[in-house]
C-alpha cells in the first residue's frame, strides 16, 4: 500500500477526482492548503499599502491505494492536473504500514 | 505622581462618569462666560438658530422674499409640513451614514479580529455624542454666546420642546427646532465616529470614550458654532440689526466663510484629530512589515454606498428646507462623487497598474467629502471639477502624503477627509463665484445675492477657516489624548493587540472560524 499525496491547482480538483476514479481509486481526502514553490505569488494593493502574497492557495489530496494501483493513479494525476505552467504542483508517494476500515475491521488492501 | 493618578484606583466606569460630569461642568462654565453678548433674538426663532452659511434661495427660485419679510415680522412663522418631513427624512439617513454605513466601511478595512471593535466604537461613540448633544452640546453649538462658543439657552434641554422653532436661511421660514436639533445631532455623532478610523486596531476602548467626550465638547461644538451659528435671516432688518446679528454670529460665519454642510466642521475637524491620534497612539504592531490587509472589502463597498446615499441627507438637508438650494446640493452630491470615483480609478490604474474596488469606494467618499462644503454654492460644472480634484488629491493623500506623514492613520482619515475637506473648502471659493456658475454670497440685509464676489478674498477666508480648524481641533485632540493617556492609557498591551480587540477588549468574535 502507498499513500499518494498530491498538491494541485484548486480548479483542477474535479478533473483529478474523475481521473482517479477511472484509475480505480475509491476514496480521497482533500484539504485546502496554502504554500509556495517555484510559482511566484502576487501583489495586493490596498490604497497606499502594497503586500506581496507568497503563499498561494492549493488543494492537497491524499489517497491510500494498493501497490498495483499506484502507477495508474500517479499517471491519472499527472495527466489531469497538468497545465504545463509553473505552479501545477507535486506528487509524493510514501509507504503505508497498514490500513483498517473502521466499520468492518477489514485490513490493508481490503480496506482501501 | 500625576494629578490623575487617583483614576487608577477607581473603576473604569466611575472614571468615565467623572469625565462626563467634568465635561458638562466645564462646558457650562464656558457657556456662562459666553452669555455676555446676547443680542435680540425674537421669540419666533426662539434663540436657537441655523446652520450652514448663505444659501441663495432667490437665485434659484422666483419667490419674492421681500413680500414674506413683513409678514414674518408681524406674525410668528409656522413650520411648513414639507420642510419638516424633508428634514426628518434627512436626519434619518444621516444617522444611517454612521449606523451602519461608516461602521461597515471602516469595519471591512480592518482585520477580522478587530471587526467588532470598530463597529462598537462607531456605535457607542454615536450613542455617547447624542446624549452629550442633548445635555449641553446643542446649546454650546447653536445658541447665542460669543464668537467661539454658544450659550446656555438650551442647556439640559431647557426650552427644547415641540413649540420651539429654528430659523432657516429664508426670511420667515422656520422648521421645528427639535428636528433641527436631531439633524445636527447626527452631524456631531458622525464627526466623532469618523475619527476612530485613524487609531483603529490598537486603541483602548475606554480611551476612545474619554477622548470623545473631551474632543466633542471643546472641538466639535465650538467649530460648529464658529462656522454655522447665526441668528437667522429674520434678524437682518436694517443696518443696525444686521451689525448686531453679525456680531452674535460665529467667528467664521461672521467673516463670510462658506461651508455648506461641514467641510471644516465635520471633515477637516475629524481629520486633524485623527492625525494627532495616529501619532500619539503609535503605529500598529507589524505596521510596514507584516501584511495588514482589509478583511472584507464587500462590507466596505456596502458601507461606502450607504455613506453616499446618506450624504444626500447630509448635503441637501443642510439647506434646512425642501427648496431649490436643497435640489442643487442634491444633484452636486450625485455628480461630484461620480467624477471622483473615475478620477481615483484613473490615478490608480495609471499609478498602480490595476483599478480596485477599494479605490472606487474611496474615490466616492473623497468626492463626497470634497463637495460637502460646496454643495449648495456651486453649479454642476463646479461640482464635477471639485469631484475630480477631490478624487485625485485624496488618492495622493493615501499614497504620497501618507508616506511623508509616517503616521499609521489606519483607515486614512486624514488622507481622505482632511485632504478632501481642504480641497473642497478652497475650491468652494472658486466655484461659488457667479462668473463660474456658482450662487455667489447671500446678503441677508439686502435679502438678495451680493453683487460683489471676489474669488481671491473668499479663498483667504476659506484658508483661514481651514487653518483655524486644523489648529483648534489638533490642539484639543492633543490635550484630550494626553488626558486619556494619563487616566487609562491609550493602547492595549501587545498581547491584546495580537489577539485582536474583539476578544481582548470586548470578549466576543465577529466570525466563527
pLDDT tens-digit series, residues B348-391:
999 999 999 999 999 999 999 999 999 999 999 999 999 999 99
Q: Block means of pLDDT (10 residues each) for chain A, length 112 residues?
A: 96 96 94 92 90 92 95 97 95 96 94 88
Residue of A nearest to B289 (CA): A51
HEC sequence for B236-282: CCCHHHHHHHHHHCCHHHHCCCCCCCCHHHHHHHHHHHHHHHHHHHC
Nearest to B356 by CA among A80, A71, A1, A44: A44
Q: What is the mean pLDDT of residues B109-126?
A: 98
Interface contact B92, partner A, CB < 8 A = no
Interface contact B405, partner A, CB < 8 A = no
Instruction: Report the CATH number that the domain containing residue A59 is assigned in CATH.
Output: 3.30.70.120
Interface contact B143, partner A, CB < 8 A = no
Task: Scan residues 46-65 of B and list those with Cβ closer than 8 Å to A.
Answer: none
Q: Are B288 and B83 in contact (CB under 8 A)?
A: no
The Cα of A82 is separated from the nearest Cα of chain B by a number of Å equal to: 29
User: Residues of A at the B interface (Cβ-Cβ below 8 Å)?
Assistant: 44-49, 51, 53
C-alpha cell at B27: 462646558
Residue A35 has a pLDDT of 93
End-to-end alpha-carbon separation of chain A, Å? 9
Residue B334 has a pLDDT of 98
**What pTM value is reported for the model?**
0.85
CA angle A56, A58, A64 (to 5 degrees): 150
Helix (H, G, I), strand (E, B) or coil at B341: helix
Residues of A in contact with B294 (CB under 8 A): 46
Instruction: Determine whether the interchain pair A53/B412 forms a contact, defined as Cβ–Cβ distance below 8 Å.
Output: no
Q: Give just the sign of the alpha carbon dihedral B265, B270, B271, B276.
A: positive
Helix (H, G, I), strand (E, B) or coil at B345: helix
Whole-angstrom CA distances from B149 to B27, B92, B457 are: 9, 27, 26
C-alpha cell at B12: 473604569
CATH 1.10.3430.10 fits B11-40+80-490, yes or no: yes
Q: Identify which has the larger pLDDT, B14 or B62.
A: B14
Residue B74 has a pLDDT of 53
Q: What is the mean pLDDT of chain B?
A: 89
pLDDT in tens, B190-218: 999 999 999 999 999 999 999 999 999 99
Q: Is B22 exposed, middle or buried (0-12, 13-18, 19+ CB in 10 A)?
A: middle
Task: Scan residues 94-123 of B and list those with Cβ closer than 8 Å to A.
Answer: 109
Nearest to B420 by CA among B383, B358, B372: B372
The Cα of B362 is separated from the nearest Cα of chain A by a number of Å equal to: 8
Interface contact B498, partner A, CB < 8 A = no
Instruction: Determine whether the interchain pair A48/B402 forms a contact, defined as Cβ–Cβ distance below 8 Å.
Output: yes
pLDDT in tens, B36-93: 333 333 333 333 344 444 433 333 333 333 333 444 445 789 999 999 999 999 999 9
The Cα of A55 is separated from the nearest Cα of chain B by a number of Å equal to: 12
Which residues 6+ apart lie within 8 Å of B49 measured at CB? B41, B142, B143, B144, B166, B167, B229, B230, B231, B232
Q: Are B265 and B51 in contact (CB under 8 A)?
A: no
Dist CA B422 CA B397 (whole Å): 11
Percentage of residues of chain B with pLDDT beyond 70: 86
Report the domain count for chain A. 1
Instruction: Determine whether the interchain pair A49/B292 forms a contact, defined as Cβ–Cβ distance below 8 Å.
Output: yes
Q: In terms of residue numbers, what domain contains A35?
A: 2-110
Residues of B in contact with A49 (CB under 8 A): 292
Nearest to B416 by CA among B385, B395, B389, B400: B395
Does B471 score more than 90 pLDDT?
A: yes
Does B137 score more than 50 pLDDT?
A: yes
Q: Is A103 exposed, middle or buried (0-12, 13-18, 19+ CB in 10 A)?
A: exposed
Beta bridge partners of residue A4, listed in sequence order: A63, A93
Domain boundaries, chain B: 11-40+80-490
Instruction: Determine whether the interchain pair A46/B403 forms a contact, defined as Cβ–Cβ distance below 8 Å.
Output: no
CA angle B13, B19, B24 (to 5 degrees): 130
Does B6 score more than 80 pLDDT?
A: no
Q: E strand or H helix at A92, and its extent?
A: strand A89-95
- Listed range (B28-42, B155-169, B281-295, B303-317) with the worst mean pLDDT: B28-42
Q: Are B168 and B82 in contact (CB under 8 A)?
A: no
Amino acid at each position: 500500500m502507498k499513500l499518494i499525496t498530491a498538491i494541485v491547482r484548486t480548479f483542477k480538483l474535479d478533473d483529478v477526482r474523475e481521473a482517479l476514479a477511472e484509475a480505480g481509486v475509491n476514496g480521497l481526502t482533500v484539504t485546502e492548503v496554502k504554500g509556495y514553490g517555484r510559482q511566484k505569488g502576487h501583489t495586493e494593493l490596498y490604497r497606499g499599502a502594497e503586500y506581496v502574497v507568497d503563499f498561494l492557495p492549493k488543494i492537497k489530496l491524499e489517497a491510500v491505494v494498493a501497490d498495483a494501483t499506484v502507477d495508474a493513479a500517479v499517471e491519472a494525476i499527472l495527466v489531469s492536473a497538468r497545465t504545463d505552467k509553473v505552479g501545477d504542483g507535486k506528487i509524493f508517494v510514501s509507504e503505508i504500514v497498514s490500513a483498517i476500515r473502521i466499520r468492518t475491521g477489514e485490513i490493508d488492501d481490503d480496506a482501501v | 505622581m500625576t494629578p490623575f493618578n487617583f483614576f487608577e484606583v477607581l473603576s473604569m466606569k466611575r472614571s468615565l462618569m467623572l469625565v462626563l460630569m467634568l465635561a458638562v461642568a466645564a462646558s457650562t462654565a464656558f457657556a456662562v462666560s459666553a452669555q455676555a453678548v446676547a443680542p435680540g433674538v425674537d421669540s419666533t426663532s426662539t434663540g436657537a438658530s441655523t446652520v450652514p452659511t448663505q444659501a441663495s434661495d432667490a437665485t434659484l427660485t422666483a419667490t419674492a422674499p421681500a413680500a414674506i419679510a413683513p409678514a414674518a415680522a408681524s406674525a410668528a412663522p409656522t413650520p411648513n409640513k414639507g420642510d419638516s418631513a424633508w428634514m426628518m427624512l434627512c436626519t434619518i439617513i444621516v444617522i444611517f451614514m454612521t449606523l451602519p454605513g461608516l461602521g461597515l466601511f471602516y469595519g471591512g478595512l480592518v482585520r477580522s479580529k478587530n471587526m467588532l471593535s470598530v463597529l462598537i466604537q462607531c456605535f457607542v461613540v454615536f450613542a455617547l455624542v447624542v446624549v452629550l448633544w442633548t445635555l449641553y452640546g446643542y446649546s454650546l453649538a447653536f445658541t447665542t454666546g460669543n464668537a467661539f462658543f454658544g450659550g446656555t439657552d438650551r442647556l439640559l434641554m431647557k426650552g427644547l420642546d415641540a413649540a420651539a422653532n429654528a430659523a432657516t436661511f429664508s426670511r420667515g421660514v422656520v422648521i421645528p427646532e427639535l428636528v433641527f436639533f436631531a439633524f445636527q445631532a447626527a452631524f456631531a455623532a458622525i464627526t466623532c465616529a469618523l475619527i476612530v478610523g485613524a487609531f483603529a486596531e490598537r486603541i483602548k476602548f475606554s480611551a476612545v470614550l474619554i477622548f470623545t467626550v473631551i474632543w466633542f465638547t471643546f472641538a466639535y461644538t465650538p467649530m460648529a458654532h464658529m462656522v454655522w451659528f447665526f441668528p437667522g435671516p429674520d434678524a437682518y432688518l436694517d443696518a443696525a440689526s444686521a451689525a448686531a446679528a453679525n456680531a452674535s454670529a460665529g467667528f467664521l460665519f461672521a467673516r463670510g466663510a462658506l461651508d455648506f454642510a461641514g467641510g471644516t466642521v465635520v471633515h477637516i475637524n475629524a481629520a486633524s484629530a485623527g492625525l494627532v491620534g495616529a501619532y500619539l497612539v503609535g503605529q500598529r504592531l507589524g505596521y510596514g512589515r507584516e501584511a495588514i490587509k482589509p478583511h472584507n472589502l464587500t462590507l466596505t463597498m456596502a458601507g461606502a454606498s450607504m455613506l453616499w446615499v446618506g450624504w444626500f441627507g447630509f448635503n441637501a438637508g443642510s439647506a434646512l428646507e425642501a427648496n431649490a438650494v436643497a435640489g442643487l446640493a442634491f444633484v452636486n452630491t450625485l455628480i461630484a462623487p461620480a467624477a471622483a470615483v473615475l478620477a481615483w480609478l484613473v490615478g490608480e490604474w495609471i499609478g498602480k497598474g490595476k483599478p480596485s474596488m477599494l479605490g472606487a469606494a474611496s474615490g466616492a467618499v473623497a468626492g463626497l467629502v470634497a463637495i460637502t462644503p460646496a454643495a449648495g454654492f456651486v453649479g454642476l460644472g463646479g461640482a464635477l471639477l471639485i469631484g475630480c480634484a477631490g478624487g485625485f488629491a485624496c488618492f495622493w493623500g493615501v499614497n504620497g502624503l501618507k508616506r511623508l506623514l509616517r503616521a499609521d492613520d489606519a483607515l486614512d482619515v486624514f488622507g481622505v477627509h482632511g485632504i478632501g475637506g481642504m480641497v473642497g473648502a478652497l475650491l468652494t471659493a472658486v466655484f461659488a463665484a457667479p462668473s463660474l456658475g456658482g450662487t455667489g454670497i447671500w446678503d441677508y440685509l439686502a435679502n438678495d445675492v451680493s453683487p460683489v464676489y471676489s474669488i481671491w478674498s473668499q479663498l483667504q477666508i476659506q484658508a483661514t477657516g481651514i487653518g483655524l480648524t486644523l489648529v483648534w481641533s489638533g490642539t484639543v485632540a492633543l490635550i484630550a489624548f494626553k488626558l486619556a493617556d494619563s487616566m487609562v492609557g491609550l493602547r492595549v498591551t501587545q498581547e491584546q493587540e495580537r489577539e485582536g480587540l474583539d476578544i481582548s477588549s470586548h470578549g466576543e468574535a465577529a466570525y466563527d472560524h
